[in-house]
Structure 1
Amino acid sequence: MNQFIGLLKVLKSPTIQSFCKIAYVPIRFITIAKKSIALPLYTCSSLHDVSFSTILLTVFLFVTELFPYSKISNIFLQMDLESFLLGIPVVTRYWFLASTIVPLLGRFGFIQMQWMYLEWDLVVSKFHIWRPLTSAIYYPITPQTGFHWLMMCYFLYNYSKALERETYRGRSADYLFMLIFNWFFCVGICMAMGIYFLLEPMVMSVLYVWCQVNKDTIVSFWFGMRFPARYLPWVLWGFNAVLRGGGTNELVGIIVGHAYFFVALKYPDEYGVDLISTPEFLHRLIPDEDGGIHGQDGDIRGPRQQPRGGHHWPGGAGARLGGN
């Protein structure tokens, strides 16, 4: 017993504790190096496949694992992720999470792209009935498409949140019906045109509706260009057609967004007749909040408040694209 007590005194001595603190770093370095490097390099078949972003992610994971109680870790621990997510309206919240998490899982090899994309033969002949849904939330992230995917996530977050919070305030069931309406027509058009992924047309359709509801709001683009929001979808279409080629995905989103805007908002506002209405089961799924009214009678007779804040693509004064 005396020997045990003596051992405890030795272990509690300042010298031993200082040694443990010094030895902690190299020991932890060895134990977590393999763990932190394995994830970002999972999909790299050779050293030639290692990109700068992969190296950066490796360093980030390594540092945060190596120093869990450092200031770096504390910064991320202090981020109130729960409050951020709860601040997003319910429909936009789940759509945003699905459209960010699922592509990232695919990027790191947890999901295979071959099971996610939309194709007529696979849906009809082989009865892959999940593909119309997975193709709406999946996007192949590569070094060439990564930045474009980030921009789609920004547009989704900002404009979907703005629509659900303003035009459909207290009526998230009606907003969910809008997304279902747009998704249904995106599936049909994309299958006919051979478009494999629906995320971009879906986001563009939501952006188009916001721009029509807020058509007189002045937005800013690159090089200080300023114009009414009604022109923004066409500017983005031309911008992507020049820089990336094509522009088909954006055009599909514009067509679908215009179809919904006319049928659900413009026609009822002008003629007082609802051509479509939200099914009752959606109202039971997401009950209206106080002040919400059933139906698709959003007021389109004047500009709404633009999304606030924003990133710098494009930048400038006015209603910055992608503002939150």
Structure 2
Amino acid sequence: MDLQQAYANIPPITKTLVTGAMVITLAGNFGLLPVRALILDFYDVWYNFAIWRLVTSVFFFGKLGFPFLINVYFLYNYSMRIETAGLYDRQPADYVFMLLVHWVTLLVIGYFLALPIIGIPLVLAIMHVWCNVNPDVPVRFWFGLTFKALYLPWVLLVFNILTGGTGMMELLGILTGHVFYFIKYKWPELGGPSLLETPQFLREFFPNAAGGVAGFGEAPASRQPQAPRDPQGFAGRGHVLGNN
């Protein structure tokens, strides 16, 4: 399969996220777009109507380098898994709604913490939801370390700190994903009302494909130990990080 065909086979929501991250980040790094116009600046949003910043701050991942490649890989891998492996399979409106909730949550956090970009926390939020839905799926990290998927976001947080980072972006992503997961799934299980239902206008704009799975409002059956489909064709139950 050539690169063009592989790209064509990426599901639409994941394709939009990955393409946006690649195009905006590359354009900023190569001077095609001014970086200062891409980052989150609420003063400019309020007083100069620079509303594009609310979107470009999601897709601009900062400087090019190994961390950028890893984040794009995680975005592609876990977004595709969520979009095609049960939880959101053939239910694009539900996935779009989850992304919108993450986006708004991160904008609020970004406002109070003066964050310049929110794309990296979004990647961790997507990953965190998948890991909580598939907590017992074995994951193989670098250096042969194996653990349950539930711990993956926390391992990445610790790894970032050990390699010289602050871990702030990872922590904010974990927080964002956990808030969504708790309100959407755990709170109703504890007897609370369902507070996060996909709006009807999104369902009309992103209709379910034929043959969809159980409704998004139900507790995910995939929380039982099982291996989801691997969009990259990895053989076996484990998932190797850092390798295609």
Task: Tell me whether the two structures share a fold, i.e. TM-score over 0.5.
Answer: yes
Radius of gyration: which is bigger? 1
Q: Which residue of 2 aligns with 1:175?
A: 95
Q: State the Cα distance separating 1:286 from its structure 2 match.
A: 1.2
CA distance in 2, matches of 1:156, 1:323: 14
CA distance in 2, matches of 1:304, 1:264: 22
Q: SS in structure 2 opposite 1:244? A: coil
Unaligned 5+ segments in structure 1 are: 1-77, 311-316
Q: State the Cα distance separating 1:226 from its structure 2 match.
A: 1.1
Q: Which residue of 1 aligns with 2:15?
A: 93
Superposed CA offset, 1:212-268 (max 9, x none) = 011011111122211111111111001101213211111100000001111123334
CA distance in 1, matches of 2:90, 2:191: 24
CA distance in 2, matches of 1:86, 1:239: 33
Q: State the Cα distance separating 1:307 from its structure 2 match.
A: 6.1
Q: Which residue of 2 aligns with 1:124?
A: 46
Confirm or deny: 8 A CA contact 2:78 2:126 kept in the other structure: yes
> Aligned match of 1:299 in 199, 217, 220?
220
Does residue 289 of structure 1 match 2:212?
Answer: no
CA distance in 2, matches of 1:179, 1:187: 12
Q: SS in structure 2 opposite 1:219? A: strand
CA distance in 2, matches of 1:168, 1:202: 17
Query: Quick one: which amino acid aligns to residue 228 of structure 1?
Result: K
> Aligned match of 1:141 in 63, 76, 89?
63
Q: 1:296 to 1:96 in 2, by over 3 A?
A: farther
Q: SS in structure 1 opposite 2:48? A: coil
Q: State the Cα distance separating 1:304 from its structure 2 match.
A: 4.6
Q: SS in structure 2 opposite 1:227? A: strand
Identity, % of aligned positions: 35
Q: Which residue of 2 aligns with 1:79?
A: 2
Does residue 219 of structure 1 match 2:139?
Answer: yes
Q: Which residue of 2 aligns with 1:158?
A: 77
Query: Quick one: which amino acid aligns to residue 190 of structure 1?
Result: G
CA distance in 2, matches of 1:223, 1:137: 30
Query: Quick one: which amino acid aligns to residue 149 of structure 1?
Result: F
CA distance in 2, matches of 1:177, 1:108: 32
CA distance in 2, matches of 1:248, 1:307: 31
Q: SS in structure 2 opposite 1:208? A: helix
Superposed CA offset, 1:291-318 (max 9, x none) = 33654335153135346387xxxxxx92
Q: State the Cα distance separating 1:273 from its structure 2 match.
A: 4.6
Aligned alpha-carbon RMSD (Å): 2.5
CA distance in 2, matches of 1:163, 1:304: 14
Q: SS in structure 2 opposite 1:125? A: helix
More helix by share: 1
Confirm or deny: 8 A CA contact 1:215 1:229 kept in the other structure: yes
Query: Quick one: which amino acid aligns to residue 67 of structure 2?
Result: H
Q: Which residue of 2 aligns with 1:232?
A: 152
Q: 1:222 to 1:205 in 2, by over 3 A?
A: same
Confirm or deny: 8 A CA contact 2:11 2:83 kept in the other structure: yes
Does residue 308 of structure 1 match 2:227?
Answer: no
Q: State the Cα distance separating 1:320 from its structure 2 match.
A: 1.2
Q: Which residue of 2 aligns with 1:202?
A: 122
Q: State the Cα distance separating 1:201 from its structure 2 match.
A: 0.3
Q: 1:276 to 1:96 in 2, by over 3 A?
A: same
Does residue 280 of structure 1 match 2:203?
Answer: no
Confirm or deny: 8 A CA contact 2:80 2:231 kept in the other structure: no
The answer to which structure, 1 or 2, has the higher relative contact order (CA under 8 A, 6+ apart) is 2
Q: 1:155 to 1:116 in 2, by over 3 A?
A: same
Confirm or deny: 8 A CA contact 1:159 1:322 kept in the other structure: no
TM-score when scaled to structure 2?
Answer: 0.88
